[in-house]
Amino acid sequence: MKFLKENQNTERYVDSIFSVVRAAKADPEGINATAGCLYDEEGKLLTYKCVFEAEKKITAAQKASYASSPAGNNDYIEAVSSFVLDNRVSNNFGAIASPGGTGAISLAVENCLTEGDTILFPEISWGNYKVIASDNNLKALTYDMYDLNNLFEKIDSISGKLFLVVNSPCENPTGYAYSLEEWKSIFNKLNNLNREVILLCDIAYIDYATGDPKNYFSLFNEISDNVLVILAASCSKAFSYYGQRLGLMIAIHNDPEFIDLFINLCSRKARATWSNLNNAAMINIATVLNEHEEEYLNELSEAKNMLKKRSELFIRQADECGLEYYKFCDGFFVTLKMKDNFSRDSLHQKLLNDHIYTIKVNKGIRIGLCSLPLKTVDGLAQKIKEIM
Ligand SMILES: Cc1ncc(COP(=O)(O)O)c(C=O)c1O
């Protein structure tokens, strides 16, 4: 193709979510379950007070200034790494700041995979994995995340390097999470493979999971030398700071020299791609974690409870009326189970006709409980069941 680099993927990029989001916003009477951000019970985007109070103290010069390095500001990296790892990882690790969780995933993919390699991710998952795969000319292979045997078969079907994406807990779009037992089986499989394994744990929503969602981090301390674990964390979700574009990539491996080399490679890639991140936002998140952590954790806990009430109500009412959904544990979304994409399209359209705006996903319909006040969630499952 003229002007473009060789093998450029010229398939037209269409953001399929955008049109339904726009329609939802234009319909004030409608139920807008399309959002991917957390909203409060008044229907406004939820913001954490401590985050925006701290932001007021940031000076114009700090806002105008470049960050201290392409890898991000050290105090940000240290504060977010220790918040994410929660003293659970004794293995060697290194970290680099990224533009959101998306930037962390891209860094991992671009530094570990070559055109034609395979990336393995869940069959029902965040649509952007597919976009990242196609943008990097990778083969996209999917697995059924509810069936570990299926995952293991898919792993065995890939010869050569394995790049596995797991989005747990609070999977987007199903809300599924692997139990510690499931994680142990996964690590048992990966540690005993005779080839390189990159396990990308997309933990974008981990702060909204109940129970002890980081219990499996201890398994990072017992990985074999063939395994590289990469965590992709997102400040968009954790701090409700979506537009500030901050995240963190943390790489964990037995060999500290490799970690050093890998973070250095990622720093060069960052320099060559976005060059520098949002300095003021990094200063702010570091300040929140270093000086206002307790306030933040209290606000986070309130947000988590608010979300949990919504999901408990929806799930209870869905069970009462027999509305089928994919197994859900926690998180922003619940996904209705559809037998194929034809029935999905038909239900999605019927819901639109009834002013219920949802997102189509592979073999399912995503309901963004994150954006629906409890009073709107109440009765929604029955309403959908009747429309069906
Ligand atoms: C599963 C998943 N991973 C990662 C992200 C990354 O988000 P961001 O780049 O805004 O941090 C998202 C955002 O919607 C997501 O749903």
**Do 203 and 283 lie in a common domain?**
yes
**Do 62 and 188 lie in a common domain?**
yes
pTM: 0.96
pLDDT tens column, 37-89: 999 999 999 999 999 999 999 999 999 999 999 999 999 999 999 999 999 99
Report the share of the chain in percent with pLDDT over 70. 100
Ligand 1 close to Cβ of residue 106 (< 6 A): no
**Do 244 and 206 lie in a common domain?**
yes
pLDDT tens column, 78-107: 999 999 999 999 999 999 999 999 999 999
pLDDT tens column, 116-160: 999 999 999 999 999 999 999 999 999 999 999 999 999 999 999
In this prediction, residues 261-274 reach a mean pLDDT of 97
Mean pLDDT of the residues in the chain: 96
Ligand 1 pocket: which of 121, 234, 239 to mutate (most atoms within 8 A of CB):
234
Domain span holding position 361: 16-45+301-387
**Do 203 and 72 lie in a common domain?**
yes
Alpha helices in 60-119 (DSSP H): 60-64, 74-85, 100-112
Question: Ligand 1 atom closest to Cα of 172?
Answer: 1
The SS3 call for residue 225 is coil
**Do 256 and 368 lie in a common domain?**
no
Closest CA to 207 of 121, 99, 281, 302: 302
Ligand 1 close to Cβ of residue 247 (< 6 A): yes
Centre of ligand 1 to C-alpha 101, Å, is 5
CATH code where residue 30 lies: 3.90.1150.10
Burial bucket for residue 374 (CB in 10 Å: 0-12, 13-18, 19+): middle
Number of domains in the chain: 2
What pLDDT does 113 receive? 97
For residue 16, pLDDT over 80 is answered with: no
For residue 386, pLDDT over 90 is answered with: yes
Query: Which of the pair, 23 or 229, is modelled with greater confidence?
Result: 229
Q: What is the largest CA-CA distance in the chain?
A: 59
Domain boundary among 291, 312, 341: 291
What pLDDT does 384 receive? 97
CA atoms within 13 A on the CB side of 76: 26
Centre of ligand 1 to C-alpha 234, Å, is 7
Peptide bond connecting 373 to the previous residue in cis, omega within 30 degrees of 0: no
Ligand 1 close to Cβ of residue 171 (< 6 A): no
Ligand 1 close to Cβ of residue 126 (< 6 A): yes
Q: How far apart are CA 245 and CA 76, in angstroms?
A: 13
**Do 255 and 326 lie in a common domain?**
no
What pLDDT does 7 receive? 84
Angle between helices 279-291 and 293-321 (to 10 degrees): 90
What pLDDT does 1 receive? 63
Q: Report the C-alpha dihedral over residues 20, 21, 27, 32, rounded to 10 degrees.
A: 100
**Do 330 and 283 lie in a common domain?**
no
**Do 30 and 115 lie in a common domain?**
no
Closest CA to 247 of 104, 106, 128, 47: 104
- Considering the domain boundaries, does residue 2 fall inside one? no
In this prediction, residues 351-374 reach a mean pLDDT of 96
In this prediction, residues 13-34 reach a mean pLDDT of 88
